[in-house]
Structure formats: structure tokens, C-alpha cells
Amino acid sequence: MAAPYQLGQVLPLSLDPHNLPKYALFTVLRLFMAMAFALLFTFTIGTFAAKNKRAASIIIPCIDVLQSVPVIGLLSITVVGFIKLFHGSRLGPEAAAIFAVFTAQVWNIVLSFYQSLCSVPLELKEAADMFHLSAWQRFWRVEVPFSVPGLLWNMMLSMSGSWIFLIASESISVNKQTILLPGMGSYLRLAISQSSMTGVLYTIFTLFIVILLYDQLFFRPLLGWSKKFTFEQISQEYVTRSWLAILLQRSSILKYCGNFFEGLGDLFVNFLFLKRAQPLRKAKHMNETTFMILWYVVSAAIIFGSLYLLVQFIARHISLTEIPTVLFLGLITALRVIVVTLICSIIWVPIGVLIGLNRRAAKIVQPVAQFLAAFPTNVLFPIVVILILKFQLNVNIWTTPLMLLGTQWYILFNIIAGASALPEDLKQATANFGVKGWQWWRRLVLPGIFPYWITGTITAVGNCWNTSIIAEVVSWGATTLTATGLGAYIVKQTAIGDFPRVALGMATMSVFVLLMSRLIWRPLYNLAQTRYKLD
């Protein structure tokens, strides 16, 4: 991967199916490398934030914003930076692709870890103090295990969500050039540009296999394993037992390996150099309040300073008259996102509830929905494009389902989880009083699944915004379909390398996402947590 590389150079790629295993391997490697970096980032930055209140007061709001910003649009800017950084090596675009996937994965993982660290029960902390655990031992014996269930669940969600960006980030059009990294994403791009239906089908087939393996060999066993770490008995109905875990538990190989790893883990946790007793309390010396004020002033200065620079950068190149146009494009995309969410809900709420109420059906459908959520839908885009071309459909309307394809599963599997979590006694009570039909939906089911619906919807909406950057411009062979919208605007400006306009588009999208989150989703979420939570 360290071969010399220049922007514009075309890496040899071919549609020969014999290359598929190799390409799939590259793609998966990128995914896992991004995850490794995300974990490293989580363990350092998340821990830092949890241990230092002052740091947290800056880091956490930043992460909160970053997780709602559609990071895929940043790819164009970062790729230039990375190519310069690794001057002339192929590591540049590789790093950019991995970075893009990293930014798609990391934020919710850090937040979950931070929240777990902050909610380690006092008694456990006291026990750790009482038995003189060093900071290192405490981290691996108490803090990390405590956060494992949340951490793993978020890692899995992130990985599922990032497949689509992985595919997109392997082939980037930036500054009138197209960079193609060997992998499934580039294979797909090549197949599209050559109008090769077989190529597209090969991609779909390969990714299906890869994600099936990932789901069965990685996702499910890990989720099953994470149950061991739940502190209280919270039932995770929507996690099914993994056949692999059962198989491993029954075999004696695991026992042998287990002993080996236990020994290794033991050495790691009790690593001698990091064994140090807790420091004794010292008298407080610094004037806390002055320091706090200073800290906030400095951080505010940095944040507003960089915002100012961004505005300057945009304003120097773009006239103010363009801003209303961009805002209008943002509104169109926002409308698309809302319509998609509504359509998803109308379709999947009744179906999800019916499935969720039937324990056997839920058991079968739930893993399938989780699997489908991981499947990168941009692979299916060519098929939709062909249909649009064939039936001469309206591009602005019919590219919208592309956003729906990927995001609907988040709503579906949350609804299933919610419906199966409806308490048996409530169902019996309503049946006993003869509550039926619309009243049954209005009084029991809809309020009962509301918290789950809102959780699913928030994830789905985040995905929708991200997907809009991929889904508003689609092509087949020499034909490119462009819908009106902010996503298409960003893609267009990226391709011609107009960075001020890319920045303007990204900033506008971020503002839209943040406003919608603060004004619609957050209040609804709070309402769900206070009023509709069943426990």
C-alpha cells in the first residue's frame, strides 16, 4: 500500500471476478482499521473527558455536534490534506478513506463510553479505592467492563452504518480527478461507469456474503458475549443467541484458548510498570473559579475564532446572494429527509408491531433487519437508476427512495424491539377491558413503542442526511442523474474542487441537522424518556 502515488494516477482495477475476494478483503481491512482507530480515540479522549470535568465541558458538546454533522462531505477536504501529508504515497488516499469511515463511526462510541464512565456506580468506585486498584487496573477491571454493553452496541451500529461510506469513500471525485482505491467500492464504480450489470450483480453478491460473514462471525458472537457485562438485568430482547458462540462454548478449544488469553489478560491488567497505588489527597491550591473562567474564555475564543475564520473563508469567495439558493437547497433536502422518515414510519410501524408481538416472528425477522441495516444500499443504486431511465421518472422524486433503502431498517428493528418489550400484563389488561382496533393502537401500542420509534428515527435521520450526499447524484454508464438538493450541491462543488462552496454547503447542512435535532428530535426524545418510558 506504500507504493508511490500521485493525484490523478489511475490504479489498475479490473472487473474480473477473480479479483473480488482480494477487493473484499481490502474493504474489510479498511473497516476494521477505522474501528481500531475509533477505539483508540474512544479510550483516550473518552477517558480524558470522563476524568476531567473541564475537558469534558468542551469535548462533549463538540462531539455532540460532530456526530450530527454529515461527515462524508468532509472527505473531499481531508483527502487533499492526507495526500499532502503522505506526499506521493498511496497511503494518502488510503488514510483519507479510513479517516472518512473513522469519522462516520467514532462519535456515538465516544459518547457511549463517556456516559458509561460517568455512571460507574459509586459502590464499585469505592470498592476499587478500598482495595487499592491502580488507575490502570481500575480502567481494565472496572471501567471498561462496565461500559462494554453500550460500547459494543454502539460499535456495531457504527460499523453497520459505515459500510455505505466505506463503499463511497473508496472512489472519490475530487478536484476534477477520481481516486479509485482497490476495494468493493471502486469495483462498483468501475462497473457503473462501464454500464456492466454483471459487475453490479457481482458486487451485490460479494457484499452480501461478506456482510453475512461479518454478521455471523463477528457481530452476533460479540453481542452475545457482551451480555456478561450488563450490570443490572436489562433484558436485551432484540439480541439473539449466536450459533458461533454456542459452538465455541461447547468446544474444548475455547477452554484451552480461554486459559491462554486469561493469562495474557492477567499480565496486561497487572502490567508492572503501571502499578502504582492511588495518590494520597493533596490540599487544594489553585483558585478554582478563576481557573474555570480562564478556561472557558480561552475555549470560547478558540471556538468563535475558528467559526470566524470559516465565515471569512466562505465570504471571501462567495457573494451573499448565493446563500439563499443554498438555503433553499437545504430546505429541499430537509423535506426529503422528513418525507422519507414519515414514509418509513407509516410502512414499518404496523408491520414492525405485528412482528414484534409475535415472539417467533420477531426472533426470525430481527436479525434479518439488523443484517439489512448493515448492507450498503449504494450498491443497489444502479438498479434504481436503470428503472428511472427506463420509465422516464422524475429524478427529484424517485431518487428519494434511495435514502429510504438504507435507513428504514433502523426504524423497523427498533419498532420490533419496542413491540416485543410491551409488558404482558398491559396487553392482558387491555384485552380484558375489550380495548380493540384504533383505541388499542392509540392507548397501548403507539405510546408503548414511542421511545423505541424515536430512537430508531434519530439514527435513521442521521443516516438520511449522510446518504443525501451519496443519493442525490447517481449515474449509470455515461448518464448522470442529479436531483435538486444540498447533497447534490456538495458533490458537484467537490468534483470541481471549489472548496469555499463545499465549506458553505457543509456548514449549511450542519446547521440544518443541528436545528432539526434541537428543535424536533431532542424534545421528542426527552418527552419519550419522561412520559412514555415503560419500566
* Nearest-approach distance from CB 214 to other proteins, in angstroms: 25
Of residues 231 and 295, the one with the C-beta less far from other proteins: 231
State in angstroms the smallest separation of the CB of 118 from other proteins: 18
258 vs 350 by CB, closer to other proteins: 258
User: Rounded to whole angstroms, what are the CA distances from 83 to 5, 138, 503?
Assistant: 9, 40, 19
Q: Which residues does residue 474 pair with via DSSP β-bridges, in sequence order? A: 481
Residue 153 or 409 with smaller CB distance to other proteins: 153
β-pair type (473-476, 177-180): unpaired
Smallest distance, Å, CB 156 to other proteins? 19
What helix, strand, coil percent values describe the chain, rounded to 5? Answer: 80, 5, 20
Residue with cell 434511495: 402
d(CA 223, CA 242): 8
Containing 90, the helix (H) or strand (E) segment is none
**141 vs 317 by CB, closer to other proteins:** 141
Q: Are 473 and 483 in contact (CB under 8 A)?
A: yes
| Rg, the chain, Cα only | 25
C-alpha to C-alpha distance for 205 and 209, rounded to whole angstroms: 6
Burial (0-12, 13-18, 19+ Cβ within 10 Å), 297? exposed
CB nearer other proteins, residue 9 or residue 134: 134
What is the smallest separation between the CB atom of 149 and other proteins, expressed in angstroms?
10
All 3 cell numbers of residue 495? 468534483
Q: What are phi and psi of 473, to 5 degrees?
A: -125, 115
What's the closest the beta carbon of residue 349 comes to other proteins, in angstroms? 24
Cβ closest to other proteins, residue 10 vs residue 272: 272
CA atoms within 13 A on the CB side of 510: 17
Nearest distance from C-beta of residue 130 to other proteins, angstroms: 5
Task: Please state the closest distance from residue 288 (CB atom) to other proteins, in A.
Answer: 12
Nearer to other proteins, 16 or 126 (CB): 126
Q: Which is nearer to other proteins, 284 or 360 (CB)?
A: 284
Please answer whether residues 413 and 355 qualify as being in contact, where contact means their C-beta atoms are separated by less than 8 angstroms: no
CB 149, CB 226: distance < 8 Å: yes
Are the CB atoms for 83 and 73 separated by under 8 Å? no
**CA 535/CA 526 separation, integer angstroms:** 16
Q: Which residues bind other proteins (CB under 8 A)?
A: 121, 123-124, 126-127, 129-134, 137, 141-142, 145-146, 148, 228-231, 233, 263, 266, 269-270, 272, 275, 278-281, 530-531
Closest CB to other proteins among 321 and 535? 535
For 259, other C-beta atoms within 10 Å of its C-beta total 10
State how far the Cα of 279 lies from the Cα of 277, in Å rounded to an integer: 6
SS3 395: helix
CA separation (Å) from 315 to 312, 337, 492? 5, 28, 19
CB of residue 260 to other proteins, shortest distance in Å: 13
Closer to other proteins at the Cβ: 118 or 301? 118
Nearer to other proteins, 84 or 275 (CB): 275
**To the nearest whole angstrom, how small is the minimum distance from the Cβ of residue 241 to other proteins?**
17
Nearest distance from C-beta of residue 205 to other proteins, angstroms = 40
Question: Closest separation between CB of residue 244 and other proteins, Å?
Answer: 21
Q: Which residue has the cell 491488567?
A: 269
The distance of closest approach from Cβ of residue 452 to other proteins in the complex, given in angstroms and rounded to an integer, is 20
| End-to-end CA, the chain | 52
Judged by beta carbon, residue 137 or residue 493, the one nearer other proteins is 137
Three cell numbers written together for 187: 469495483
Check if the beta carbon of residue 70 is closer than 8 Å to that of residue 510.
yes
